[in-house]
């Protein structure tokens, strides 16, 4: 890779505390990299009002005019994104959840294919694995390809603990940088193929109400972008998606 690598870290901590300090340490570990930390708490990000407008009518129709798109643009502009959250009550922080909700139209209409990401969580004892699992699963649906997560216990603030965390975090971060530099073509995972078929089906089923999904999917056949999927794999994926759709239809009347 010739140009300077750009990383954006989305930090869901409500203050410049443990999670922020780890991100700052990563920034300082490699000055060659253009590293930007976005503290959600310092941005204008309003609560999702649950109107479905972004999902049904397109993200531009969201009633909130705030910094949501500034964050999305930073993610588009970066080569890699770090989703970082403290573990609060065994999952992501409320602030990070707000960001997840405000961007959930991208689970329907993912755009981050070919982009790498890493989940980072801090905790005092238990649950950082649940936090990184949540972040990885959620943003994989937006198209990101995740490198292994990093889960850090920040409780004692001893030299040992801080050295250990530094090693764990920088090792994981180097994997992210390495993945970006490899410029390897990323193949869709089995789950991503299944999700594609489910969402494409929903987009047709719900088209009177949700034209945004319908428009997005209507010229897409087997996946979000041109990729060769082996015949039998494609058959199997469609069969599994069909079973999920049947279950969904049995539980709903006419709408998703």
Ligand X SMILES: Cc1cc2nc3c(=O)[nH]c(=O)nc-3n(C[C@H](O)[C@H](O)[C@H](O)COP(=O)(O)O)c2cc1C
Q: Shortest Cβ contact with ligand X: which residue?
A: 17
Tokens for 142, please give them: 């937006």
Between 1 and 124, name the residue whose CB sits nearer to ligand X: 124
What is the helix (H) or strand (E) element at residue 102, kind and residue range? helix 94-102
Contact 82, 23 (CB under 8 A): yes
Between 90 and 235, name the residue whose CB sits nearer to ligand X: 90
| Nearest approach, Cβ of residue 15 and ligand X (Å) | 6
DSSP 161-230: HHHHHHHHHHHHHHHHHHHHHHTPPPPPPHHHHHHHHHHHHHHHHTTTT-HHHHHHHTT-SSSSS-----
- 3 state SS of 81: strand
Tokens for 183, please give them: 């410029």
Between 13 and 197, name the residue whose CB sits nearer to ligand X: 13
Between 33 and 154, name the residue whose CB sits nearer to ligand X: 154
| Nearest approach, Cβ of residue 116 and ligand X (Å) | 23
Residues that bind ligand X (CB under 6 A): 13, 17-19, 86-90, 122-127, 154
| Nearest approach, Cβ of residue 93 and ligand X (Å) | 7
| Nearest approach, Cβ of residue 68 and ligand X (Å) | 22
């Amino acid at each position: 890779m010739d140009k300077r690598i750009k990383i954006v870290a989305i930090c869901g901590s409500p203050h410049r505390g443990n999670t922020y300090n780890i991100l700052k340490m990563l920034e300082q570990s490699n000055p060659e990299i253009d590293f930007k930390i976005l503290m959600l708490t310092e941005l204008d990000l309003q609560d999702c009002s649950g109107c479905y407008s972004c999902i049904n009518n397109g993200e531009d129709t969201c009633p909130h005019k705030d910094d949501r798109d500034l964050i999305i643009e930073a993610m588009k502009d970066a080569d890699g994104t770090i989703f970082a959250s403290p573990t609060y009550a065994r999952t992501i922080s409320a602030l990070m959840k707000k960001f997840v909700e405000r961007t959930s139209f991208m689970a329907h209409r993912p755009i981050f294919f070919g982009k790498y990401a890493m989940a980072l969580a801090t905790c005092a004892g238990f649950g950082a694995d649940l936090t990184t699992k949540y972040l990885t699963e959620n943003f994989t649906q937006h198209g990101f390809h995740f490198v292994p997560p990093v889960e850090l216990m920040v409780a004692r603030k001893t030299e040992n603990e801080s050295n250990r965390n530094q090693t764990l975090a920088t090792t994981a971060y180097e994997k992210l940088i390495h993945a970006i530099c490899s410029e390897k073509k990323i193949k869709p995972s089995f789950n991503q193929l299944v999700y594609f078929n489910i969402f494409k089906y929903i987009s047709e089923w719900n088209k009177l109400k949700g034209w945004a999904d319908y428009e997005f999917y209507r010229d897409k056949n087997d996946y979000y972008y041109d990729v060769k999927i082996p015949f039998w794999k494609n058959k199997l994926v469609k069969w599994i998606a069909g079973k999920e759709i049947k279950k969904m239809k049995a539980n709903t009347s006419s709408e998703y």
